[in-house]
Structure 1
């Protein structure tokens, strides 16, 4: 494992604490959108839209993504790794653990997670 990859992996532990609070604080509207497949996880570490959202839902998801970016920035700077690389490592980890029935985007294509593991993109080492 390279030093860069190890640093990103080690930083995931720190991010799990940062990511837990916003995830628990998601509104019922965001949870419903995740459950219905309107909103899903992306390999870049951010939420995206599989279907056009309402303006209110878009605003909520944008706010979540801003908080994610702040968390990624904080941990990446502390670990001296690029923010985008850290965000992708979190996105890959999130996709690997995604619950069945949830929407996700890999390579610009939206799909719904079934029982089989997601074929992760090359940036995830897949």
Structure 2
């Protein structure tokens, strides 16, 4: 669980994410057809920590792809968080947004850590999400 240093730190982080255009930031996986296929097949999902997770039963090739994509995400988080927040805080805030952006039928990590399939309603999100 991410603990923010101060309420002002959380507010600053939220502002930073907005200023950096996080809502429009295209992560590398958005352009990867293998990722799109695995996501549509329910083999990968958004975790609460800002990284992708492999849903049990997915092929080994999906695990390798997710590892590579998570390394790319970490590099982005490291760059964007520099001097403004911790990598973990930035990743958490991004996770809140990415989980909210899942489409019906896509997987995400629920509050209890289990994999949930997004329905027509809003996904289950951490109460600390902005």
Which bin holds the TM-score, normalised by the shorter protein?
0.7 to 0.9
1:70 alignment partner in structure 2: 75
RMSD: 2.2
1:39 alignment partner in structure 2: 44
Aligned length: 123
- Runs of 4 or more, structure 1, over 6 Å off, are none
Distance 1:124 1:44, change over 3 A: same
Contact 1:102/1:112, CA 8 A, preserved across alignment: yes
1:22 alignment partner in structure 2: 28
- In the alignment, structure 1 residue 97 sits paired with structure 2 residue 97: no
Is there any run of 5+ residues in structure 2 with no aligned partner, and where?
Answer: 1-6
Distance 1:21 1:117 in 2: 22
Contact 2:50/2:91, CA 8 A, preserved across alignment: yes
Distance 2:29 2:15 in 1: 21
Contact 2:106/2:117, CA 8 A, preserved across alignment: yes
